[in-house]
Structure 1
Amino acid sequence: MDEHDRIVTESLLRDDLDVQPDEAKFAELLLLVAEELADDPYGGATKANKVLYFAEFAHVRETGLPITGVRYRKLERGPAPRHLRAIRDHLIDNGDAVLIKERVLGYEQHRLRPTRPARRELFSATELKAVQDAVNLLRGHTNADASERSHREPGWQLVNDGEDIPYVAALLPQHQPQPSPRMMDRLRQIGEEYARRERPAP
C-alpha cells in the first residue's frame, strides 16, 4: 500500500458509516442468500460471501446504508463477513439450516442449506433487490471467478489482509471491469481462429 492509499484508507476508516451490526438480520440474510444460490452449482460458502458483500455495498451506493451493518474483512479469496462462522453455526445448532459438503471441480465446497424459509419480511424492497442483483451478477460463475471480481472492488484494494473494509468505500468510483487473464487468453484464441478462417487459400 503506497502513501496515497494509506492516507485515503485512514480517512475512510475515520469517516465510516455509523451503523450498528444487526447479527439477527444477518442470519436471515445468510439464509436468504443460501436459498437464492440453491440451484447454482458453485453456490457454496465462497460465493455466498461474495454475494453478501456485493449486496451490502451495493445497498450503500443506492441508499447510503448497508443491509445489516455486519463488517466485512479482506481475506485472500475476497471479502468475508466477520463472525460468519459463529452465526452460521448458530443457525445449524437451532435446526434452521444444515451444512452440506460436496466436491465441485475437484475442491470441497461447503453449502448452507436452509431447513426453513428466510424471514423476507425483515427486508425492504431495495434490500431484496440488492440481494437479487448480487446473485444475478455471480450466477453460474465459479468461486475463482467470483473471488477475482471481488478483488477489483476499491474497498478490497484499499485495506490490508484481515482488516475491515469500510462501508464508505462503496461510494468510491467503481473501475470498469477488466477481462480476466483466462478471458484474454480465450479472446486471443478466438482471434487466431478467426484469422485462420479468413486467410485466403494458397
Structure 2
Amino acid sequence: MLEEVPYMRYDEEKLAELILYVAEKIQSDRTAGATKLNKYLYFADFSAVRKLGHPITGAESQRLRHGPAPRRLPPLRDRLVRNGEARRERRPDGLGYVHDDLIPERQPRTELFAAEELRVVDEVIETLKEMSATQVSELSHREAGWQLVDEGETIPYELAFVLAPDQADPTPVIRSEGQRLLSEYADRLS
C-alpha cells in the first residue's frame, strides 16, 4: 500500500466543517438524512481524488451495508451536537420514511477549503440531491471501493480511479498503486 502522502492525510477539522457545510446545503432535500449525508461526504472526497488528485478531508471511509461512510462521522456528529454547533432532528419525508437530519447551528468555516474543493462538494450535492437515499446507496454500490472490500474494511482512495477512466488523470504513483490494488482485490474475489 502507499506510504502516507501529505495530501492524503486526514484532517478532522476539515471533516467536521464539511459535515456542517453539507448539512447546511441539503436542508431543503426532503430525502436527506444520515444515510445520504454519509454518501455526500464519501462522494465528495472520492470525487476530489478523481478531479483534484487528492481528497478534501482524507477521512477513511468504510464499507457498510448501505454503502460507504466516513469512519469518523458518528463521533464528529456527536461532538458537533454536544458542543451546540448542530442538532439532530427526526423528520418524516412524506414518502413513508423518517430521516435523521443534522441541522447546523452555526455557519461552516469555509475558509478551511480551497475554492475547487467546495466546487467539487457542490457538484456532488447537485448530482445527488434529486435521488432518494436508496438510489444514492445503490449508486455507491457501483463504486469499485465498495465492491472490492469487505464489510467494515477501509476503502482505499486509490480505488477512486478504477471505475472512473474519464476522470482527471491520476499521478503515476496513484495509477500504479490503484492497478496493484485492483489486481489484489480481484484475486480475492476469484
Name which of 30, 35, 46 aligns with 1:57: 46
Do structure 1's residue 140 and structure 2's residue 127 form an aligned pair? Answer: no
Give 1:74-153 correspondences, 5 Å limit. 74-104=63-93, 105-153=95-143
- Give the conservation status (yes or no) of the 8 Å contact 1:154–1:174: no
Q: Which has the larger Rg? A: 1
Q: Secondary structure at the match of 1:86?
A: helix
Pair 17,138 (structure 1): closer, same or farther in 2 beyond 3 Å: farther
Offset of 1:37 from its aligned partner? 0.4
- Give the conservation status (yes or no) of the 8 Å contact 2:22–2:40: yes
- Give the conservation status (yes or no) of the 8 Å contact 1:17–1:167: no
Q: Deviations over 1:61-111 (max 9, x none)?
A: 112110010100000100001021110010011110000111233232110
Distance in 1, matches of 2:63 and 2:124, equals: 18
Distance in 2, matches of 1:122 and 1:34, equals: 16
AA at the equivalent of 1:108:
V
Which consecutive segments of 4 or more residues in structure 1 shift more than 3 A? none
Pair 49,21 (structure 1): closer, same or farther in 2 beyond 3 Å: same
Offset of 1:174 from its aligned partner? 2.7
Distance in 2, matches of 1:22 and 1:82, equals: 13
Identity of aligned residues (%): 45
Unmatched segments (≥5 aa) in structure 2: 167-190
- Give the conservation status (yes or no) of the 8 Å contact 2:143–2:163: no
Distance in 2, matches of 1:116 and 1:95, equals: 9
CA-based RMSD of the aligned residues comes to 1.6
* TM-score between both structures, scaled by the size of structure 1: 0.77
Offset of 1:16 from its aligned partner? 7.0
Give the equivalent residue in structure 1 for 2:185.
Answer: none
* TM-score between both structures, scaled by the size of structure 2: 0.81
Give 1:1-202 correspondences, 5 Å limit. 14-15=1-2, 18=5, 19-104=8-93, 105-174=95-164
AA at the equivalent of 2:54:
L
Q: Report how many aligned residue pairs link the two structures.
A: 163
Unmatched segments (≥5 aa) in structure 1: 1-13, 177-202
Offset of 1:172 from its aligned partner? 1.4
